[in-house]
Amino acid sequence: MERPRHQGMTKNTYMRWRLPLICLLWEVAMIILFGVFVHFGPEADAHWEEEKREMNLTSDIENDFYFRYPSFQDVHVMIFVGFGFLMTFLKRYGFGAVGFNFLLAAFGIQWALLMQGWFHSFQNGKILIGVENLINADFCVGSVCVAFGAILGKTSPVQLLIMTLFQVTLFAVNEYILLNLLHVKDAGGSMTIHTFGAYFGLTVTRFLYRPNLEQSKDKEGSVYHSDLFAMIGTLYLWMYWPSFNSAISEHGDAQHRAAINTYCSLAACVLTTMAFSSMLQKKGKLDMPILESKLHIQDTCGIHNLHGMPGLIGGIVGAITAAAATEDVYGKEGFIKAFDFTGSYKTRTPSIQGGFQAAGIVVSLLMAFAGGTLVGAILKLPIWGDPADENCFEDDIYWEVPEDEESDVYHMHNPDKAASP
């Protein structure tokens, strides 16, 4: 009997039919939906030569692919290596952090391509996809990775897949309301990705509150090498952030500008963060990785500080900046372009735009709380194989873990298991 049974625990974390079933069913659904709906967009289609002539382009290099592909790959690394390894700091949950992040992101991007496609790239019954859609799907999944940070170590892979399905759906709806109905600018995804992702995750984790989780506190620490793995994640998120923020900016100066801005801001953040990290520690020592220092039991990665607050601040600053914008800064042409004050939005003034930006924040928060409540309630059903309190933050329950010094440490804490081979 390999699973330990303390204090009358009756949780069934056996995944053998549940996980494969849900994975295969959903993948079949994806393949059918892709077959029915997804087509190459004009710039990825073999008819591109005709398209190029129509758009009056002179060279293949003006294909959107060459404007965006390098940034796309950077974003891709952020989602899979950055978020995955960022969360490896827990002593015994490295496989779960990297592996579940991989699973939910890989599922999420498929569903995001469909959901975002129906809202934004739907023409004549077909979703037309190009490199920009791939970036947007990665962005959408980024918000799921943020929410994952709040419930890390306390859920089964089946629960994560269900959360992903709902969160991607709600993300696409929220994004549609903000970008298309409110005509809001959401630089760097402050509202759609960070604010929505963080408060959605926090609402879910509040629902899954475990009053007795304190017991397994000894497993929440890190070990020396797991912190270095987490540093890989941290650095990749930091280094590629300029790509994240510029990946879908307008061609030319706007993309250039977004990258420069992010580069400079991020450099400034490092010094400030180090300063506060050293100031808050009683001997002035630094903590590694710094961003994760406030490890609250029910918000595993501290996403409130990391994404929630910054996202809100970003959103509010965006609203104020919009309200205060003038043609002097942007030039007449650039001004209209920056806020897209064309067509039916021709009459919008900066101050009205500021109001709509503020409305965008409120909508994102409402969607996060309502959606998080719904999903939290669903995940609380006792059929998804979530771990018992004593097994939280432990790879052993869902992964084959090699027998080594790591598990020796484990056996010292779980002597009843050490006896079995």
By CB under 8 A, tell whether 418 contacts a copy of itself: no
Q: Using CA atoms, how far apart are residues 379 and 204, in angstroms rounded to an integer? A: 8
Could you tell me if residue 130 is left (phi over 0), alpha (psi between -120 and 50 degrees) or otherwise beta? beta
**Burial class of residue 26, CB neighbours in 10 A (0-12, 13-18, 19+):** middle
In the bound state with a copy of itself, the residue whose beta carbon lies nearer, of 24 and 377, is 24
Shortest Cβ 13–a copy of itself spacing (Å): 9
By CB under 8 A, tell whether 340 contacts a copy of itself: no
Residue 162's nearest CA partner among 380, 387, 389, 403 is: 380
318, 169 Cβ separation under 8 angstroms: no
Shortest Cβ 160–a copy of itself spacing (Å): 11
By CB under 8 A, tell whether 62 contacts a copy of itself: yes
CB atoms within 10 A of CB 227: 16
Contacts of 323 (CB under 8 A, 6+ apart): 350, 351, 353, 354, 355, 357
By CB under 8 A, tell whether 284 contacts a copy of itself: yes
Residues 176 to 195: which contact a copy of itself by CB under 8 A?
A: none
By CB under 8 A, tell whether 264 contacts a copy of itself: yes
Q: What is the largest CA-CA distance in the chain?
A: 76
The one among 403, 413, 416, 418 contacting a copy of itself by CB under 8 A = 403
Q: CA–CA distance from 362 to each of 296, 319, 322, 378 (Å)?
A: 26, 12, 16, 24
Residues 1 to 40: which contact a copy of itself by CB under 8 A?
A: 2, 14-21, 23-24, 26-27, 30-31, 34, 38, 40
In the bound state with a copy of itself, the residue whose beta carbon lies nearer, of 148 and 236, is 236
Residues 87 to 106: which contact a copy of itself by CB under 8 A?
A: 88, 91, 94-95, 98-99, 102-103, 106
Region from 119-127, 272-280, 296-304, 355-363 binding a copy of itself, contact rule CB under 8 A: 272-280
Shortest Cβ 234–a copy of itself spacing (Å): 9
By CB under 8 A, tell whether 349 contacts a copy of itself: no
Total binding residues toward a copy of itself, as defined by CB under 8 A:
134
Q: CA–CA distance from 386 to each of 13, 21, 68, 231 (Å)?
A: 6, 16, 40, 28
Compose the 202-221 pattern: x for residues touching a copy of itself by CB under 8 A, - for all others.
-------------------x
The one among 181, 286, 362, 370 contacting a copy of itself by CB under 8 A = 286
By CB under 8 A, tell whether 309 contacts a copy of itself: no
By CB under 8 A, tell whether 295 contacts a copy of itself: no
Query: Which amino acid is located at 272 in the chain?
Result: T
Phi, psi of 235 (to 5 degrees): -65, -40
